[in-house]
Amino acid sequence: MTPLSENVKNRIAHLRESRGAHAEAVRKLAEADGGRIFGVDLIAWAALNRSLSLLDGFATLIETGNILCAGALLRLQVDSSMRLYACWLVDNPHTLIEPLLRGEPLKSMKSRTGERLTDAYLKTELSKISPWVESVYRATSGFVHLSTVHMISTVRSLETTTGEAQFGLGSGAREVKEEELLEALDAFIEATKCLLQLVASWLVTKEKAAVERAPDHP
C-alpha cells in the first residue's frame, strides 16, 4: 500500500480527536436536569457509544486501505444519526426506548404523521436538515450489500486495448486512490458531526425543560 498522504493523516487525527467531544456529550447529558435520565438520553448514549466504536474501526481500516469495510462502517455511522433523529419525528420520543429494549424494530413504530420509521423514511427526513445524507446513504449502501463496488474491487488492473485483466482478492486487491480515502474520511467526519449536533440539540431541549419546570420559573 502507498504511504498515507498528510491530508489523509490529518483527517484521521481530526476524527480521532472527536472522541473527546463524544465523552463530553455523555457527561453533559448525565448532568443535565439534575441527573434525570430520559428515554432519549439512553438512545443518545447508545448512538454515541456506537459512534466511538465505529470511529476507531473506520480510522484503522482507512490506515490499512481497506475501503470496502470502511465504506460499510460509514453507512452504519449515518444509520446512527438516522435512528437518533427518529426522536424528533414522534410525539413522545421517550416512549421509543421501551420497544427498542424489547428488541422491536424501529420500523414497527410510527411518526406523528403516521409514517412507519423505516430506513427510507428516516433517511428522507434527515436529508431535509442534512442534504448530504441522501447521496452518502445511497453510495454506502453498496458497501453493505454485495454489489458493483465489490465486483470492481477484485480487478487489480485492466488493459483497455486488449481487454486483459488481472484479478486479486482481499483488501489489497487493488490500490486505493487518495481521493477515495479523502472522500470517505470527509463523509465520516460529516456523519459524526451530524450525530454530535443532534445530541447537542437534545441537550438544549433537556436543559430548557428543566428550567421551565423549576418552581421559580415565571
CB contact burial 2-32 (16+ within 10 A = b; e otherwise): eebeeebeebbeebeebeebbeebbeebeeb
In-domain check, residue 160: no
CA distances from residue 127 to 14, 20, 55, 114, 206 in whole angstroms, order as listed: 24, 27, 22, 19, 24
Boundaries of domain holding 77: 6-145+176-213
Work out the average pLDDT over 137-165. 59
Task: Report the mean per-residue pLDDT for the chain.
Answer: 87
Do 22 and 52 form a contact (C-beta atoms < 8 A)? yes
Q: How confident is the model at residue 163 (pLDDT cuts 50, 70, 90)?
A: low
34-88 pLDDT, tens digit each: 999 999 999 999 999 999 999 999 999 999 988 888 999 999 999 999 999 999 9
Q: Is residue 63 included in any domain, yes or no?
A: yes
Answer for the pair 141, 75: CB distance below 8 angstroms, yes or no: yes
SS3 212: helix
Domain contains 121: yes
Q: Residue 204 falls within a domain, yes or no?
A: yes
What's residue 143's pLDDT? 60
Number of domains in the chain: 1
In this structure, is residue 14 part of a structural domain?
yes
- Is residue 45 included in any domain, yes or no? yes
User: Where residue 145 falls among pLDDT bands split at 50, 70, 90?
Assistant: very low
Q: Is residue 162 part of a domain?
A: no
Higher pLDDT, 177 or 124: 124
Question: Is 65 a domain residue?
Answer: yes
Query: 214 φ, ψ to 5°?
Result: -65, 140
| Phi–psi pair at 116, nearest 5 degrees | -70, 140
Average pLDDT over residues 84-106: 94
What digits encode the pLDDT tens for the residues 8-34? Answer: 999 999 999 999 999 999 999 999 999
Q: What is the pLDDT of residues 168-178, one digit of tens each?
A: 555 554 578 89
Q: What is the pLDDT of residue 211?
A: 78
